[in-house]
Structure 1
Amino acid sequence: MALPSLPAGTLDPGIYIVATPIGNLGDITLRAIAVLAGAGLIACEDTRVTGKLLKHLGIRARLQRLDDHASPETRARIIDEARHTAVALVSDAGTPLISDPGYRLVREARAAGVTVTSIPGPCAAVAALAMAGLPSDRFLFAGFLPVKDKARRETLEGLADMAATLVFYETAPRLERSLLAIAELWPQREVAVARELTKLHEECRTGTAAALAAHYATHPPKGEIVLLVGPPGEDEVPAPDTDALLRAALAAAGPGKAAGVVAKQTGIDRAALYARALELKDE
């Protein structure tokens, strides 16, 4: 089957937000291919990554790098061009603006009266939600969790009462720490880890956060990861003030023993408590 194409100048001027594959190159839509082929300019997160996709599709195009560090002048030039020609906006993978660059460009383009059109397609958050088996009637996409342990914990605590499935993006090196933090706060909630979506080694594993943390401690994960946490159950007991309990236990024992004492008191996974005890000890 021949790939769809559009003669130069066929597309109306404006900015076209084009979703691209998150792994499997077969997941690009026919409409996305046509827009990429017919655009006068493609604004992309990384010209090397987009260049490989275009080569696979047999498309030759003019590229302009547009990442989170793009200057206001660069955005202004792209918007000015979009007044007269079609400009496609892509990220390295998936739907632009979903934890990817493009927000400022789209906002400024709309304010300038430039037409903005969405060409929908792959999105890792939605793909993971669909396959995880967690409630999907209500969900909250919360982007990446903070890197620092204290900030991560505070972010999770702020979402504790959200009656929806929580969806995060996470990196492989940080996954275990995030799972331990979730285990400490919500030991009974169902959690899912979806990784390498649409690729050869695609995986979606579910269980408690503690069980998943134990698994990935001995099976270090690779690839892009979506981390999902189910909503609170009707009988969920509010998490105890584990920091207060750990501080009291640390006054008389080391982190390991303190974690064991609090684990018996609360039923929270000892590994998660031990990680938190080490943080409190160093404060």
Structure 2
Amino acid sequence: MGADVVETRLIDGKAIAAELRAGIGRDVAGLAAQGLKPGLAVVLVGEDPASQVYVRNKAAQTLEAGMASFEHKLPATTAEAELLALVAALNADPAVHGILVQLPLPGAIDATKVLAAIDPAKDVDGFHVMNAGRLAVGLEALVPCTPLGCILLLKRVLGSLAGMKAVVVGRSNIVGKPAAQLLLREDCTVTIAHSRTRDLAGECRMADILIAAVGRPEMVRGDWIKPGATVIDVGINRVAKPDGKTRLVGDVAFAEAQGIAGHITPVPGGVGPMTIACLLQNTLTAARRQARL
């Protein structure tokens, strides 16, 4: 590696998310003084353990930021019509500024239909086709929380992203595609790569900014990374350890990236904390827009 060895700096998503939440809390207090309390409704259907933990964290941080939290926990046997009726009621409730239906939903419920039923103005997950379309054509939109968090982390460590070559590995509607749109908005030159990309490693080596969002443990190897590049690892994968326990790893081979990447997010403690902070940011944004403030 020789001259290419660089000092790799960790991007502390936990600390940056805490700063973001503190700023949101101040803004919420300012709105409360004007008689407006942003409210977030979270709907959980079924008993998925990971979803339960996530929803609990969301509720705690919503209250900590001074917002109203509305939790709706429904059994896995809930009918699609019943869930759609709840979404309609939340759309009509002026105290609710943001609506989040926790995925995955039980198999008998059409998630696409449920997400499409959410008022785009209250779609704080940014998954509604109207928000996706508005983002794509450069209009004001509510943006998915994880890619928004990625961009905030990048701007924190790099400042302006203009002119940089960015490669996004992954093309999901939740992370890959919106991340690419947001990078374009920051004047990056953007490539979306995926499992069918020819010479995926070669594409990654071109990147000043590399976002890995494929859900495959340590797929992106150290020698795929351009020396000095900034690496944002969105992956959260649970893998077995020799002792039978498990550990969390990202989509990037973290140990191999040390001494090559200029900056990298750890897993956990990188992108994850930013996702909930950006959900609160979106709820604040939605409340302001609905109140025309």
TM-score category, normalised to shorter length: 0.3 to 0.5
Pair member with larger Rg: 1
TM-score (norm 1): 0.38
Highest RCO, 1 vs 2 (Cα 8 Å, sep ≥ 6): 2
